[in-house]
Each structure stands twice: as structure tokens, then as C-alpha cells.
Amino acid sequence: MSSEFLLQHQPKDEVAEDEYFDKSLHPSAHSSAWRNLFHVALAICNCLLAIVLILRHVAEGCNNLPSTLSPAESTVRYNSTYFNKYGHLGGNPFSQPPGPELDEAWHRLLAGMNIVVSPKWLDPFGAGSVRLADNSGVLAQLGLYHELHCLKKLKRWNYRAHYYGNLSDAELKEEEVHIEHCLEWLRIAALCRSDITLTTFRWEGVNGSRLATEYPVPRQCVDSERVLRWSEDRAVDITQEGLLEDK
């Protein structure tokens, strides 16, 4: 029996089913082209989505980066550091009462306070500073030193009978205004950094009736020795005659 006869006498539903399977197994060139186009479009969409996610991640990361433009930026390194709750006890020279040891410690710490930098570091901010007489640069100071200076002023104010005993009432009032400036500066400096390291608590005292703080979690701190050495290498003595450009 010929195949032509079988097709002529095959039920219509079976013929339709055979045609369906025949078409599905042998798709037309037109449907293949559309399928390929769909896959290409899907791949492009996936690539675009990946690019958007990457750019978003980079943008969020950039928002967390320091934005300060400074010649000392390349020297910054971070260390995990535990703060000592009782660091003011023992042989810490900065916790001593007035005397040669305390004064020498502050002198060494502030040795690199004033430095010379290229004006290019100030140009992006439209800022300027006092120039050196030889035109080798401008006078500047790292923010770290202003905060240390304020801490030194507060230490001296705590012992003002020793350091400011000979000042007049007007001079003491002027010094008091300076102290208020330092307190406010240190307040906004603390908020600027907003240290998020966790502090813990424990009970102490008679019958464990008083809460005391503990500091078991390390902080991420800048390696200050590197920054101090960097600044000291560029330090100038502003009291040196002829160093600075005339007013």
C-alpha cells in the first residue's frame, strides 16, 4: 500500500499531529532567525544589567572613600589598634603633670606641625596660603596637628595656674576663648570621623552596682608614625627670619 494512499485515508487529527511534530522537528528559517535574535537580545540585556550593577557598586564604594586632596594621602596606612582604657596611668609622658618630660613630649609630637607644599594642592579648592620668600611653596599644616595643638592647649588650661599664672584678666579671657574654639573643633572632628567601633559594658563597684565601659574591639587607625614622619621631613620653622613672604 502506497504512502500516498495512507495519507489520503489517515484521520485529519492524526494528520495535523504529524504535521505539528514535523514542523517542530524541522523549524523554518524564519522562526530560527527570531529565536537567535531573542537570544542575542537576552544576552545584551544581561550584559547591560551587569554593567549597571558594577557601576552602582563602584559608585557606592566611591562615596565611602575619603575626598580630601592631600599630598600626604599616599603615606596613609591602616592598622588594627586596641585602645587602652588605662593608658593615662603609668609612664605615659602626656599624662604627667607640668614638667620637662611633658613639655618635651609635646615638642617632639608637634615637630612637623608646619610644612611647605606646592600651591597645586590648594588650587582645586580655590584656596591659597602664605608663600615662602624663596617662592618654593606655600605654608600649610595637616589637620592632625591642629587637633593635637588643641589637646595641648586643653592640657595647659587644666594646669593654667602653672602655665598662665602671670597673664592678665584680659589675656586669660582671650585664652579662654581659644579653649572654647578647641573644644568645639575636637567635637566636630569626632563627629567627622564618627567612629563606629563597639564599646561594651560590665558591672563593677560594690555589689556590681555601677556600669563600666570596656574596649575589647580593635579600631582601624591610621599609622600615625608614618604621617608624622612624612610631615617632619617637610617641616619648616616659621619663626626663622626671612622664611616667609612679607605681608
53 in any annotated domain: no
Domain of 87?
A: 83-233
61 in any annotated domain: no
What's the rounded Cα separation, in Å, for the pair 43 and 195? Answer: 44
243 in any annotated domain: no
pLDDT in tens, the chain (247 residues): 444 444 444 444 444 444 444 444 455 556 677 777 777 777 776 666 655 454 554 444 444 444 578 999 999 999 999 999 999 998 899 999 999 999 999 999 999 999 999 999 999 999 999 999 999 999 999 999 999 999 999 999 999 999 999 999 999 999 999 999 999 999 999 999 999 999 999 999 888 889 999 999 999 999 999 999 999 999 999 999 999 998 8
Give 211's strand partners.
203
State the pLDDT at residue 36.
Answer: 74
State the pLDDT at residue 25.
Answer: 46
31 in any annotated domain: no
State the pLDDT at residue 39.
Answer: 72
63 in any annotated domain: no
Q: Is 99 left (phi over 0), alpha (psi -120 to 50) or beta?
A: left
The total of structural domains in the chain comes to 1
Global confidence as pTM:
0.72
What's the rounded Cα separation, in Å, for the pair 236 and 60? Answer: 40
77 in any annotated domain: no
State the pLDDT at residue 38.
Answer: 73
200 in any annotated domain: yes
5 in any annotated domain: no
